[in-house]
Amino acid sequence: MGIAWTDEEIAGLRKVVASGVLSIAYDGPPRRQVTYQSLASARELLASMIKARDEAKGTGVNYRRVQFSKGFGGRGRR
């Protein structure tokens, strides 16, 4: 199990990504300021935070590949 991210932390990082500013201050506890290296790293962290939160809540997205066929098999009629 990963880190339990709060909705406040996720919302704060969304603001960082949306605004293009690389720093954000959290009121806490503990009160702190975080500066990200780049917007790309902030986006990657945001995606992993949302994924971890959704997995912890059991609301993660599952993908399944489904294939359908009409039964013709590409052979044409004779």
Q: Please report the pLDDT score of residue 26 as a whole number.
A: 77
Lowest mean pLDDT among 10-19, 29-38, 64-73: 64-73
40, part of any domain: yes
| Cis peptide leading into residue 30 (ω within 30°) | yes
- For the chain, the domain total comes to 1
68, part of any domain: no
Q: Please report the pLDDT score of residue 4 as a whole number.
A: 77
Q: What is the pLDDT of residues 38-60, one digit of tens each?
A: 999 999 999 999 988 888 877 65
**Residue 32 lies in domain:** 7-57
Instruction: Return d(Cα 27, Cα 37) in angstroms, integer.
Output: 21
64, part of any domain: no
pLDDT more than 70, % of the chain: 76
34, part of any domain: yes
72, part of any domain: no
63, part of any domain: no
Per-residue pLDDT for 76 more than 60? no
pTM given for the model: 0.61
